[in-house]
Structure 1
Amino acid sequence: MKDNFSSQSDKYAQYRPTYPQELFGYLDAVIQHKHSAWDCGTGNGQIAYELAKTFDQVFATDISQSQIDNAAKSDNITYLVQPAESTSFPNKTFDLITIAQAIHWFNFEQFYQEVRRTAKDHAFICVIGYGRLQISEEIDAIITNFYTNVIEKYWDKERRYVDEDYQTIPFPFKEIKTPQFVNIQQWTLEHLIGYLNTWSAVKHFIKEQGINPVDDLKRLLQPFWQDAEAKAVRFPILLRLGQING
């Protein structure tokens, strides 16, 4: 698993979008047994924090100590620095295993072996993510140009799985058809810029070129925002749910 997110972990926690409550309500209705959950590649812990509201115990892992240091805390969440593909969990531990905006970084075969080992009979795996943001036709066109023409070559090859809505990842489980969810945030321009600065391709660009390409992008976007104005930012939710064993 790659670690593109240890640097600026506080920014990651501050600017990355959350997930809609309707998604967690859906999972709460589907998952009947809620003793123990594992949130893998937890990042800033936002999924673990929501699961902790309905599960007795949540274990959340990440390879980044910095991410975990900035993660949301709850008395029934245990954070551990461990790779997705090799953990210290006992066999048949979890009723639910979640992976949010992270599975594309994993070694699929090794991770799925760990999923099967640590899952209880009839447990579920839930792969979650979010697609490209949508604001307005004019703004979307500017950001799409930035994405495809300015920083495209700086994306890691694994990013294509997100662009393909997680439909092309291996998913060798009994899949369950899920509703479609959309995450709508109200963001100022400053928040949007903060989010764009967390993109791994932007970090790679800065490392190679020595300048931040988001600075020019911000100048192109400023005419569309009034001071302190908040605009609706839509993120289509990527979701795949499956039964693991049995």
Structure 2
Amino acid sequence: MKDNFSKQATEYSKYRPQYPDEMIDYLISFVKNKGVALDVATGNGQVAHKLSRFFETVYAIDISQNQLDNAIPGKNIIYKVSQAENTFFKNQQFDLITVAQAIHWFDFDSFYKEIYRILKRDGIFAVLGYGLFSTNVDSDKILRNFYHNTIGPYWDTERKYLDENYKTIPFPFDEIVTKGFENHLIWTFEELIGYLETWSATQHYISKNNKNPIDLIYDDLKVSWQKNDKKVTFPLLLRIGKLK
């Protein structure tokens, strides 16, 4: 698994959008027992924190200690550094395992082998994520050019799985058909820029060119943002399955 987010862990914690409670409640409705859950590649712990309202114990793992240092605390949440593909958990330990906005970084074969080892036979496995957001028409033009052209060459190849709405990832489970969700937000200009800063391609661009690509669009985007609708819509991605 790649670690693209340790450097900007604080910004990641502050600016990454949350998953709406409606989506989490829907996911939980498929889980029979609410004993122990695991959130893989938990990042800032936002999903683990939401799960902690339902489960007796929630484990949350990530390869980045910096991410875990910025994670949301909870009395029944246990944060640990661990690879997704090689964990320290017991066989058939979990009633629910989630991975949000991260599965595209994993070695699929090794990860799924681990899921089959540590998920209970009647447990639920869920992949969550979100695609490229949309906003007002003027700002969208600037942002899509930035996404596809300015930093387009700097995206890791794994990003394609998100662009394809996780429909093309391997999914060796008995899949449950799910309904669709969207996340609707109102962002300040600071929140918009902060989110763009968390993109791995933005950071790759900075590392290679010693300058921030957001500077290229900053002024035009600010004017556009100030005079237009500031609503932001994320298409949410959800796949749920059981062991075969």
Query: TM-score, normalised on structure 1?
Result: 0.97
Map Cα deviations across residues 196-242 of structure 1 (whole Å, 9 max, x no partner): 00100010101111110111222121112339x98211101011000
- Are 1:134 and 1:234, in contact at CA under 8 Å, matched by a contact in 2? yes
2:40 aligned partner:
40
Distance apart, 1:167 and its partner CA: 0.3
1: CA distance, partners of 2:232 / 2:218: 16
Name the amino acid aligned to 1:238.
Answer: L
Structure 2: stretches of 5+ with no match in the other structure: none
1: CA distance, partners of 2:118 / 2:169: 21
Name the amino acid aligned to 1:231.
Answer: K
- Are 1:165 and 1:238, in contact at CA under 8 Å, matched by a contact in 2? yes
2:25 aligned partner:
25
Task: Give the stretch that moved more between structures: 83-92 or 131-140.
Answer: 131-140
- Are 2:95 and 2:124, in contact at CA under 8 Å, matched by a contact in 1? yes
2:241 aligned partner:
242
Map Cα deviations across residues 102-149 of structure 1 (whole Å, 9 max, x no partner): 000000000001000001111111000001011112211111101111
Distance apart, 1:184 and its partner CA: 1.0
- 2:133 is the alignment partner of 1:133: yes
1:233 aligned partner:
232
Query: TM-score, normalised on structure 2?
Result: 0.97
What is the SS of the residue equivalent to 2:201?
helix
Distance apart, 1:78 and its partner CA: 0.3
Name the amino acid aligned to 1:243.
Answer: K
Name the amino acid aligned to 1:106.
Answer: F
Distance 1:76 1:230, change over 3 A: farther
1:172-191, aligned counterparts within 5 Å?
A: 172-191=172-191
Task: Give the stretch that moved more between structures: 131-140 or 195-204.
Answer: 131-140
- Are 1:40 and 1:97, in contact at CA under 8 Å, matched by a contact in 2? yes
Distance apart, 1:72 and its partner CA: 0.5
- 2:196 is the alignment partner of 1:192: no
- Are 2:135 and 2:229, in contact at CA under 8 Å, matched by a contact in 1? no
- Are 1:6 and 1:67, in contact at CA under 8 Å, matched by a contact in 2? yes
Task: Give the stretch that moved more between structures: 159-168 or 215-224.
Answer: 215-224
What is the SS of the residue equivalent to 2:142?
helix
- Are 1:132 and 1:235, in contact at CA under 8 Å, matched by a contact in 2? yes
What is the SS of the residue equivalent to 1:226?
helix
- Are 1:188 and 1:230, in contact at CA under 8 Å, matched by a contact in 2? no
1:170 aligned partner:
170
- 2:109 is the alignment partner of 1:109: yes
Name the amino acid aligned to 1:240.
Answer: R
1:217 aligned partner:
217
2:71 aligned partner:
71
Structure 1: stretches of 5+ with no match in the other structure: none
2: CA distance, partners of 1:124 / 1:29: 10
The percentage of counterpart residues that share the same residue type is 50
- 2:13 is the alignment partner of 1:13: yes
What is the SS of the residue equivalent to 2:29?
helix
Name the amino acid aligned to 1:164.
Answer: E
- Are 1:46 and 1:71, in contact at CA under 8 Å, matched by a contact in 2? yes
What is the SS of the residue equivalent to 1:225?
helix
1:56 aligned partner:
56
